[in-house]
């Protein structure tokens, strides 16, 4: 036995917004003739100043003042917002400082090639042969020695030798014992 669906009841409550309810409530075109003979109602003049006073902005009046808990919650939220804004300002300030540092370190190729630092200029003079090392006084020779010492490449560390594998198991003949 299978179940059959319940029958729809026509007398059941109908929604006033349904299509059937809207169609049933619409007036017919055959209006009473007495209504047609009546004079039309004069249109009232609506002054814009009256309308402007009512809708002069979006205003929502509160029903009652906030409770203490609501007020404390709102104050707490405002304090959190202030701390977040302060943190963001600090982050932005630090980011700008880092950007300035990066831009200050940035050098053009010409600056690098010409050697703007005194040590680099001294090294370029020594390498080009423009400096007479015999005619220098003590201060200049100390500066040249410091430049040469800084320019010497560091000695590479000796590479580690791999540990030798014991070859006791393998004979010279290639046989494994």
Q: Is residue 125 part of a domain?
A: yes
- Give residue 97's domain range: 69-106
Q: Which residues of the chain have pLDDT under 50?
A: none
Asked whether residue 129 falls in the same domain as residue 95, the answer is: no
Which pLDDT value is given to residue 167? Answer: 62
Question: What is the model's pTM?
Answer: 0.28
Q: Is residue 32 part of a domain?
A: no
The C-alpha atoms of residue 125 and residue 136 are separated, in whole angstroms, by 13
The C-alpha atoms of residue 28 and residue 35 are separated, in whole angstroms, by 13
Which pLDDT value is given to residue 96? Answer: 95
Which pLDDT value is given to residue 69? Answer: 96
Asked whether residue 92 falls in the same domain as residue 127, the answer is: no
Decide if 169 contacts 177 (C-beta within 8 A): yes
Question: What is the number of domains present in the chain?
Answer: 2
CA 38 vs. chain centroid, Å, equals 70
Question: How does DSSP assign 5-65, residue by residue?
Answer: PPPPPTTS---TTSHHHHHHHSPPS---HHHHHSPPPPPPPPPHHHHHHHTSS-----SSP
The C-alpha atoms of residue 55 and residue 49 are separated, in whole angstroms, by 10
């Amino acid at each position: 036995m299978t179940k059959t669906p319940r029958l729809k009841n026509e007398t059941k409550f109908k929604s006033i917004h349904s299509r059937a309810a809207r169609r049933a409530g619409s007036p017919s075109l055959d209006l009473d003739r007495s209504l047609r003979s009546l004079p039309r109602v004069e249109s009232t003049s609506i002054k814009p100043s009256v309308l402007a006073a009512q809708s002069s902005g979006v205003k929502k009046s509160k029903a009652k003042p906030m409770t203490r808990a609501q007020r404390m919650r709102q104050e707490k939220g405002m304090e959190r917002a202030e701390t977040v804004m302060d943190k963001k300002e600090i982050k932005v300030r630090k980011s700008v400082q880092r950007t300035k540092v990066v831009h200050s370190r940035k050098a053009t190729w010409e600056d690098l090639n010409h050697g703007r630092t005194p040590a680099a200029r001294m090294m370029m003079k020594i390498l080009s042969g423009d400096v007479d090392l015999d005619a220098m006084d003590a201060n200049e020779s100390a500066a040249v020695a410091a430049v040469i010492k800084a320019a010497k490449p560091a000695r590479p560390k000796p590479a580690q030798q791999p540990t030798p594998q014991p070859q006791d198991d393998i004979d010279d003949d290639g046989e494994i014992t």
